[in-house]
Amino acid sequence: MTAVMIGYARTSTTDQKAGLEAQLRDLQAAGCTKIFREQLSSVANERPELERALEFVREGDVLVVTKLDRLARSVADLVAITETLKAKGVELRILALNLDTSTPTGKLMLNLLGSIAEFERELMLERQREGIAKAKAEGKYKGRAPTARTQASSVLALKSEGKTPSEIQSALGISRASYFRIMKDSVS
C-alpha cells in the first residue's frame, strides 16, 4: 500500500495570497492528493484546517508541509502535533528541509529545528519588548488606542433603550468581552 500524501498550507493573513499559492503549488508537486489550507496567524488559538487535517490523516499517510513555521508555533506545539501523528501512524514531511520523520535522522532534525525556531522567536519577542520599552521611555510609544471603551456612552445609551447585549455588540461592532467590560466599568 502506498502512502497517501496529505498537504497543509497556511499563511498569516489573507494579504499573503502569493505565499499561499506557492505552498499549494509545492504541495501538489510533492504529490499531495488532498490539501487543507487556511489564512490566519499561527498565534491564533485555533487552526481549524490543521485540526481537520490531523483528524483526516490515517495510518500510513504522510502529512506534508512546505516549511516548519507553517505547521507549529513552538516546540511544545510541534511536539503535540508530532505525537498526534505518531499515535495515528502518520509520518511528517517538511519540503523546504527535505525532512522526513520516517527516518531516525528526520526525527532528530525535527526536534532540533523546532528548538531553534522557538529560540529565535523568543529572541525576536525580547527585542520587540526592549524596543517598546525604549520608545515608551522616550515618549514615542503610546500603545494601541482602546477602541471599544471609546464607545462606552453609546453602549450605555443602547442599554437604556432596552437593547440586548447581542444587539448592542452587533450594532457597535464590539466584542462580548468589551461589552461586559464597559458595563462593569459603568457600575464602578
Closest CA to 121 of 72, 81, 163, 169: 72
Other residues' Cβ atoms within 10 Å of the Cβ of residue 52: 13
What SS3 class is residue 130?
helix
Cell matching residue 28: 501538489
* Cα→Cα distances 88→83, 139, 150, 172, Å: 9, 54, 50, 46
Decide if 35 contacts 28 (C-beta within 8 A).
Answer: yes
DSSP 59-89: TT-EEEESSGGGT-SSHHHHHHHHHHHHHHT
Q: Quick count: other Cβ atoms within 10 Å of Cβ 65?
A: 28
Q: Where are the beta strands (DSSP E) in the chain?
A: 5-11, 34-39, 62-65, 91-94, 99-100
Q: Is 12 a catalytic residue?
A: yes
Catalytic residue among 12, 42, 74, 154: 12
Kindly list the catalytic residues: 12
